[in-house]
Structure 1
Amino acid sequence: MKSNILPLLALAALTACNNKTDQKTDKMNAIPPVAEKIKKELPMHGDVRIDNYYWLNERENPKVIAYLEAENRYTDTMLSPVKQLRENLFTELKGRIKEKDESVPVLTNGYVYYTRYEEGKEYPVYCRKKGSESAPEEVYLNVNDLAQGHEYFQVAGTAVSYDNKLLAYGVDTVSRRKYTLYVKNLETGEVYPDVIKNTTGGAVWAKDNKTFFYTRKNDSTLRSEKIYRHTLGTPAEQDKLIFFEEDETYNVGLGRTKSKDYIVIGSGSTLSSEYRYLKADDPNGTFKIFHPREKDMLYDIDHRGDKWYIVTNYDAKNFRLMTAPEGKTGKSHWTELIPHRADVLLEGIDLFKDYLVVSERKGGLTQLRIINDATKQEHYLDFGEQAYVARSAANPEMDTKILRYSYTSLTTPNSTYDYDMEAKTKELKKQQEVIGGYDPKNYVTERVFAKAKDGTQVPVSLVYKKGFEKNGKAPLLLYGYGSYGASMDPNFSSNRVSLLDRGFCYAIAHIRGGQEMGRSWYEDGKMFKKKNTFTDFIDCAEFLIANQYTSKEHLYAQGGSAGGLLMGAVVNMRPDLFKGVIAAVPFVDVVTTMLDESIPLTTGEFDEWGNPKNKDSYDYMKSYSPYDNVEAKEYPNMLVTTGLHDSQVQYFEPAKWVAKLREMKKGDEILLMETNMEAGHGGASGRFKALKDVALQYAFIFYLEGITK
């Protein structure tokens, strides 16, 4: 190991010179790190895979750290010609953010809650006012103060007790999404000695204001598996285990109904779910099963008055809404309220005293449907754009006629509205302010359809600056994900303006595996149909080229996590199609990871990818797994990013992939890997640090495109 790696580390250090006059020489002389090959045989089903870089999964091995650091130095060296541009981009991106800012206040339980940011500070300040927005401000959590001395800091799951006096919150200082729970007295400022480690970060209070429930993770797999009850003033070691999810394909979580009357335990896998409920004023009582889990049956619940409301796919692929009496929750007591529709996906509901708000998706676009419970009259909100995103926002109070919703599009900054459901009038409460004179009228958004190889019409959302010419000469960045039924909606990003103003078109391929076009869209991009995701993306790229939005010489692709798997698959299938590819925290070693049930998230995803312990799944997964299908051929220019503490996709997957690509790829295209040594799956914490990752990605494709300013 020493003979192959350590001299290269020294060389990388020597070549990573910061002197601008030597940058060109540095780049020409740079030699990429070469990871040692140590043969590892991985037998399964009579097949033997050879993994020469398996040793890179030893996180504590100093030689692994040295290799990752050498890759970072090599990346800096290769991008030295755009070092100044990278720094300028960070300043540019940061400059669009309103540094002194605050969220729209939300009234709940007699207090108005909001977060604000202070100029130059990375983290939010959590505030509230009693009764109204004109009352004196109470700062109940200043994350900037808490984060001092930490490279990474994240607060999650802030929960205030019913009497408004206590705050439970979770803290992660490693970026493994393992949170330590703390309790703070909001009247005295005292942080109690009640400290609970290895949680999901959230807590749900009972109405006695001294008891709360929380979720604990498995220490190695990070699976959310246990629910505990804690009483203030007692040691965490004495907390009572309320529920243990023994099925390793399920995760558990906690919530509270909108009525605030019930505490709910949710247990779910990819394709089925189960709930338990308990009166919030009876913390020592026993949780009851709402309806026992059934194979391939999903349901979600909420409560209002004397009824339960159930959103379910029971005999309804695109889901339907049903109700049940308060005391009779089994499926045999469910009554249909909104039937299944083949062309509409029912995504969720929001309950109000006199209204029901239904979140739907039709033709790939989100819709908000308002139903008056007394008159049964209903209407949809009209948004008036080709491609947009509208969602019910923070609506914690039930007794109101005001619906708060969020709205955005590829050209419209994130906007928060209050809609009077009775008067049918809306009020803009806040629109994200983009510093520097951004004007949405200067940009154009389109929604087009690319024909997939099987005839399926795949939506593509695009945005570009006015004056953009469809002559095949413009650069285009195509983004995709296509997994878990997650819909990649056309949201606004102020960062993206840096692309558009430099002549780029930005496009989102709404490929199968997401849920943009309904539940079938998801089912047609998972398990043994997973390759539809990859071919859809390729077909979208070819459509954009054929219609002169761009050309192969100017086409770039980007995806992260499962979207990084997408990137790995498409560069194996069609490496000729792209000038450059950004694969962020990519899930690329599919078979090995899914065979190792000690790796976080593995067991809960068998219904998404398949279980390779079954030969048919093994064969299919191996046929597309990016790591297993690297070949001796020319690949596009690539930037791969990861985080050492990533809890979702372990750092060693991209590290091994890059090492194997370095060994086998032909041609002069550059291959770079950047590892954030302090962060995990979501990248750096703080609102400004994360922009350095964006600046790196943009500098990479600008470098390839010959853009220097």
Structure 2
Amino acid sequence: MTTETPVPVARRVPTERIHHGDTVVDEYAWLATKDDPETISYLAAENAWTEARTAHLAGLRTELFEEIRRRTQETDLSVPTRKGGHWYYTRTVAGQQYGVHCRRAVRAGEVAPPVSADGAPLEGEEILLDGNQLAEGHDFFSLGAFDVSPDGRFLAYSTDFSGDERFTLRIKDLDTGELLPDEIPGTFYGTAWSADASVLFYVTVDEAWRPNRVWRHVMGTPAADDVVVHAEEDERFWVGVELTRSERFILIDIASKITSEVRVIPASNPTGEPAVIAPRRQGVEYSVEHHGHRFLILHNDGAEDFALAYTSADAPGDWVPLVEHSPGTRLESVDAFADHLVVTLRSNGLTGLRVLPIGGGDPHDIEFPEPLHTVGLDANPEYRTGRLRLRYTSLIVPDSVYDYDLVTRELTLLRRRPVLPGPDGRAYQPEEYEQHREWALADDGTKIPISLVCRRDTPRDGSAPCVIYGYGSYEASMDPWFSVGRLSLLDRGVVFAVAHVRGGGELGRRWYEQGKMLAKKNTFTDFVACARHLAKAGWTAPDRLIARGGSAGGLLMGAVANLAPDAFTGIVAQVPFVDALSSILDPSLPLTVTEWEEWGNPLDDPEVYAYMKSYTPYENVAAHDYPAILAMTGLNDTRVLYHEPAKWIARLRAVAPQGEYLLKTEMEAGHGGPSGRYDAWREEAFVNAWILDRLGRA
């Protein structure tokens, strides 16, 4: 640190908020004014302070970045996926930030996907889109849509150059290589082609950035002539659009947090009126897939963990049971193929795949030997196929791609992500690591699963440092995953743990319900219970434990900092939702109204207001000792606005000035952080260097 970099001090401008008779003063509300030069100056000062306080880690950051880079096969090629007469794949090239999207024609008699030596281009490949060329001259780049028409003739793609997730949609003629004049600004994720590729459907957002409209664009016509196919007026709901795998129907998905409705349009009649599969009913969620003469319905009507039914595709009506509800086995999705169905599910905290043959044969689950793993379907665009493409990983097994033969039930490993030797020249040896499942006991007696990974020689006497990760919202499950960057921690003796707290979906719908609305505090106390358990079980000690989480997991980080600051020596909060009450009180903000069914509506319900006020991190900063905190955000984030962590750090510094608080703002990025892979590696190296420094392993 140099004396030339002062500690940032945000000026305090008391602003009152009154709800349900409660008066709250927010001294830092002014930071929400993004176009105020003083706001930008303050964020720049925080960045300068963070850089000064971490300047001694510059060498370690470089070292960690090099470890990620050297262990990664920089020039690489994904396993090609067949669609029609082509194999589709993505290549990366050493030194380039973004992928190159390609295809190659299927050759006579070719069944297995082609392979490439060292990620080199396939002979005869056609480059569809080069992200590096598109990103030239921009600090940020992201693809939204990448959608090839059913006949393989056109590519619809969309680009974002700021990180605000608002995309410009373009269409490329793949036969000629020309970019068509069709250009549609301000679009969101999701596109769908008509059967003859004459019409493209897409989504836009309202002023609160809620995806609320599905549009129909006729090829070759101005965007001003596009027609709204569905406009969703209920602010609790958002919309999406997709094409069924059979390519016979366009689905308009309409959903709130707890209710859904699906409308369908025949892909052969794109100007037809959308037909409702089943009118929305409060609390009933369902999704639709097409299969032959029927629509498959995955639903929770009288089925907490979901059941599978079907209805007529010609005249949707009553739902006929196909797979009955089984409490404790959460059905998450169904994928339809000509001769079989595949249900993605989870049971006992693990993911699984169940195959349902059509016209005979017993359903069966695809088996895997590891006690902790994550499995799911990969890209399977072909409707008529005898093979399933799936992906597999664990805390010690790198991302793997398999083909599963539906007749012989054999798994064929097509590719396992290479992990190259690090700077020390040592190759990655999975047998040098071990993964475990632990169970913590929550305050109410609930058992909370923990997944952890470490080197086999890690001591169990409390002396090992540890990072514990958590999320716990939206029924999102933090299933085991492999990370090259994490190896740099493990090889320095750090244990890595994932707390599967309530609010996530690891143990089914009830697990989620017990961590939302007026039960939200279970998420926080569960995480603390997991931290205490790891110390009690000898995996670590509080002065050697770092907590990490992002977005809604950042809310978790802020809450446990207030609730149990003694349990951690440091906290990493990335794009943290730490001013939750203020945001959920403002229906003009992105996502707020749609979030009321997740958190409750504090505007109308005094009980919800009081409950949220009792846990939201910003409201509950207190004058006690906090662990060191590193908060990270993006100026263009539209999901968790940058001012939430900025205000939080300012208040922490004012109320508990003895602590070490750092704020790092990416000035050209959004919710996902830097967009290029090398920039993302540098950010991970920055975080890991800070963690190792806190843990005394720098």
- The 3-state SS of whatever aligns with 1:648 is coil
Which residue matches 1:13?
Answer: none
**Residue 443 of structure 2 corresponds to residue 453 of structure 1:** yes
Picking from 314, 317, 330, the partner of 1:345 is 330
Which residue matches 1:8?
Answer: none
Which residue matches 1:57?
Answer: 32
Instruction: State the alpha-carbon separation in 1 of the partners of residues 684 and 130 from structure 2.
Output: 26
Fraction of identical pairs, as percent? 43
Paired residues of 1:509 and 1:540 also in contact (CA < 8 A): yes
Per-residue CA deviation, residues 610-653 of structure 1 (Å, 9 max, x unaligned), is 11112111111101010000011110001000000001100000
Task: Please report how far the alpha carbon of residue 156 of structure 1 lies from its aligned counterpart in structure 2 after TM superposition.
Answer: 2.1
Instruction: State the alpha-carbon separation in 2 of the partners of residues 478 and 44 from structure 1.
Output: 36
Task: Please report how far the alpha carbon of residue 223 of structure 1 lies from its aligned counterpart in structure 2 after TM superposition.
Answer: 0.7
Letter in 2 for 1:284: T
Alignment of 1:40-51 (within 5 A): 40-51=15-26
Which residue matches 1:688?
Answer: 678
Paired residues of 2:543 and 2:568 also in contact (CA < 8 A): yes
Paired residues of 1:420 and 1:426 also in contact (CA < 8 A): yes
Per-residue CA deviation, residues 154-203 of structure 1 (Å, 9 max, x unaligned), is 11211112221111101000100001100111111211121101111432
Paired residues of 1:181 and 1:201 also in contact (CA < 8 A): no
Letter in 2 for 1:665: A
**Residue 104 of structure 2 corresponds to residue 129 of structure 1:** yes
Letter in 1 for 2:694: L
Letter in 1 for 2:322: L
Picking from 134, 140, 148, the partner of 1:160 is 148
Instruction: State the alpha-carbon separation in 2 of the partners of residues 306 and 221 from structure 1.
Output: 39
Which residue matches 2:82?
Answer: 107
Paired residues of 1:635 and 1:666 also in contact (CA < 8 A): no
Per-residue CA deviation, residues 391-435 of structure 1 (Å, 9 max, x unaligned), is 011111121110111110000000000010111111101111111
**Residue 627 of structure 2 corresponds to residue 636 of structure 1:** yes
Which residue matches 1:400?
Answer: 385
**Residue 139 of structure 2 corresponds to residue 151 of structure 1:** yes
Paired residues of 1:180 and 1:201 also in contact (CA < 8 A): no
What is the TM-score of this pair, normalised by structure 2?
0.96
Task: Please report how far the alpha carbon of residue 131 of structure 1 lies from its aligned counterpart in structure 2 after TM superposition.
Answer: 2.1
Task: Please report how far the alpha carbon of residue 135 of structure 1 lies from its aligned counterpart in structure 2 after TM superposition.
Answer: 6.5
Picking from 476, 484, 490, the partner of 2:466 is 476
Report the aligned-residue RMSD: 1.2
Alignment of 1:489-568 (within 5 A): 489-568=479-558
Letter in 2 for 1:276: R
Task: Please report how far the alpha carbon of residue 349 of structure 1 lies from its aligned counterpart in structure 2 after TM superposition.
Answer: 1.5
Task: Please report how far the alpha carbon of residue 29 of structure 1 lies from its aligned counterpart in structure 2 after TM superposition.
Answer: 7.6
Paired residues of 2:145 and 2:189 also in contact (CA < 8 A): yes
Letter in 2 for 1:326: A
Paired residues of 1:169 and 1:202 also in contact (CA < 8 A): no
Picking from 563, 574, 584, the partner of 2:564 is 574
- The 3-state SS of whatever aligns with 2:68 is helix
Task: Please report how far the alpha carbon of residue 105 of structure 1 lies from its aligned counterpart in structure 2 after TM superposition.
Answer: 0.6
Task: Please report how far the alpha carbon of residue 666 of structure 1 lies from its aligned counterpart in structure 2 after TM superposition.
Answer: 4.5
Instruction: State the alpha-carbon separation in 2 of the partners of residues 701 and 506 from structure 1.
Output: 12
**Residue 128 of structure 2 corresponds to residue 140 of structure 1:** yes
Instruction: State the alpha-carbon separation in 2 of the partners of residues 204 and 213 from structure 1.
Output: 5
Which residue matches 2:73?
Answer: 98
Picking from 285, 288, 292, the partner of 2:272 is 285
Task: Please report how far the alpha carbon of residue 237 of structure 1 lies from its aligned counterpart in structure 2 after TM superposition.
Answer: 1.0
Paired residues of 1:170 and 1:202 also in contact (CA < 8 A): no
Paired residues of 1:158 and 1:202 also in contact (CA < 8 A): no
**Residue 337 of structure 2 corresponds to residue 355 of structure 1:** no
Paired residues of 2:5 and 2:48 also in contact (CA < 8 A): no
Letter in 2 for 1:102: L
Which residue matches 1:655?
Answer: 646
Picking from 334, 345, 360, the partner of 1:375 is 360
Letter in 1 for 2:672: G
Picking from 277, 297, 310, the partner of 2:297 is 310
Instruction: State the alpha-carbon separation in 2 of the partners of residues 706 and 407 from structure 1.
Output: 34
Paired residues of 1:643 and 1:651 also in contact (CA < 8 A): yes
- The 3-state SS of whatever aligns with 1:33 is coil
- The 3-state SS of whatever aligns with 2:484 is coil
Paired residues of 1:511 and 1:533 also in contact (CA < 8 A): yes
Paired residues of 1:352 and 1:401 also in contact (CA < 8 A): no
- The 3-state SS of whatever aligns with 2:637 is coil
Letter in 2 for 1:75: T
Instruction: State the alpha-carbon separation in 1 of the partners of residues 30 and 623 from structure 2.
Output: 22
Paired residues of 2:195 and 2:247 also in contact (CA < 8 A): no
Which residue matches 1:320?
Answer: 307
Picking from 42, 54, 59, the partner of 1:84 is 59
- The 3-state SS of whatever aligns with 1:497 is helix
Which residue matches 1:411?
Answer: 396
Instruction: State the alpha-carbon separation in 2 of the partners of residues 379 and 165 from structure 1.
Output: 38
Letter in 2 for 1:435: L
Letter in 2 for 1:204: A
Which residue matches 2:457?
Answer: 467
Instruction: State the alpha-carbon separation in 2 of the partners of residues 265 and 283 from structure 1.
Output: 12
**Residue 636 of structure 2 corresponds to residue 645 of structure 1:** yes
Letter in 2 for 1:612: P
Instruction: State the alpha-carbon separation in 1 of the partners of residues 189 and 5 from structure 2.
Output: 44
Instruction: State the alpha-carbon separation in 2 of the partners of residues 443 and 581 from structure 1.
Output: 25
Q: 1:201 to 1:297 in 2, by over 3 A?
A: closer
Paired residues of 1:99 and 1:117 also in contact (CA < 8 A): yes
What is the TM-score of this pair, normalised by structure 1?
0.94
Paired residues of 1:446 and 1:463 also in contact (CA < 8 A): yes
Which residue matches 2:228?
Answer: 241
Paired residues of 2:545 and 2:695 also in contact (CA < 8 A): no
